[in-house]
Chains A and B, each alone.
Chain A
Amino acid sequence: MKGEQQELMLRIIDLCESVKKRGLDPFDVEVREFFDRLRELLPKLQRQSELYLDIQAVLGLAEVVFQQEEWIKHKSSMLYLDPLLIMLKLHALSIRDLAEILVRAWHPIIDLECLSPTGIREAKEYWTNLPSLDERWRDLETTEIMTGEVARRELTRMGILSDEDFAVMLDKTWRELKDSVGDRGEMSYWDFISEKSFEDTVLKAWLVSFLVSYGYATLELRPLEEEIVLRPLSKPEKLEHVATFSIPISISREEWLRRRREHG
Chain B
Amino acid sequence: MAEEREILELREKLARAAQLLLFKHHIQPGAKAWELKRALGREYREILKLLDAELGKLGLMVKHVSEGEKGSESDRYFVTLRGHPKLTEARTFGWRIDDMAMLTVALSHILAKGGKAQLKEVERVLEEKFPRWRIEATIDRFIRRGYLSEDDEGLLYIGWRTRAEIDQRALLGLLLGKEVEKPSEMKSESGADTKGEETKG
Q: Which residues of B contact A126 (CB under 8 A)?
A: none
* Contact call B112/A86, Cβ cutoff below 8 A: yes
* Contact call A108/B101, Cβ cutoff below 8 A: no
Q: Which residues of B contact A91 (CB under 8 A)?
A: 128
Interface residues on A, range: 35 or more
Q: Given the complex of chains A and B, what is the CA–CA distance between A106 and B80 in angstroms?
A: 9
Q: Given the complex of chains A and B, what is the CA–CA distance between A156 and B65 in angstroms?
A: 68
Q: Mark A74-109, 1 if CB is under 8 A from B, else 0.
A: 100011011101110111010110111111111111
Residue of B nearest to A84 (CB): B112
Q: Given the complex of chains A and B, what is the CA–CA distance between A78 and B112 in angstroms?
A: 12
Interface residues on B, range: 35 or more
Residue from A98, A106, A109 in contact with B85 in the complex, judged by beta carbons closer than 8 Å: A106
Q: Given the complex of chains A and B, what is the CA–CA distance between A161 and B1 in angstroms?
A: 92
Q: Which residues of A contact B194 (CB under 8 A)?
A: none
* Contact call B100/A23, Cβ cutoff below 8 A: no
Q: Given the complex of chains A and B, what is the CA–CA distance between A89 and B101 in angstroms?
A: 13
Q: Given the complex of chains A and B, what is the CA–CA distance between A114 and B21 in angstroms?
A: 12
> Taking the nearest CB of chain A, how far is it from the CB of B33, in angstroms?
17
Q: Within 8 Å of chain B (Cβ to Cβ): is A70?
A: yes
Q: Given the complex of chains A and B, what is the CA–CA distance between A104 and B125 in angstroms?
A: 22
Q: Within 8 Å of chain B (Cβ to Cβ): is A192?
A: no
Q: Which residues of B contact A85 (CB under 8 A)?
A: 176
Q: Which residues of B contact A102 (CB under 8 A)?
A: 100-101, 103-104, 107, 166, 171
Q: Within 8 Å of chain A (Cβ to Cβ): is B83?
A: yes
Residue from A21, A70, A109, A113 in contact with B155 in the complex, judged by beta carbons closer than 8 Å: A21
* Contact call A105/B29, Cβ cutoff below 8 A: no
B-contacting residues of A (Cβ < 8 Å)? 21-23, 70-71, 74, 78-79, 81-83, 85-87, 89-91, 93, 95-96, 98-114
Given A79-B168, A110-B60, 7 more pairs with CB closer than 8 A:
A21-B153, A21-B154, A98-B100, A104-B84, A106-B167, A107-B80, A109-B29
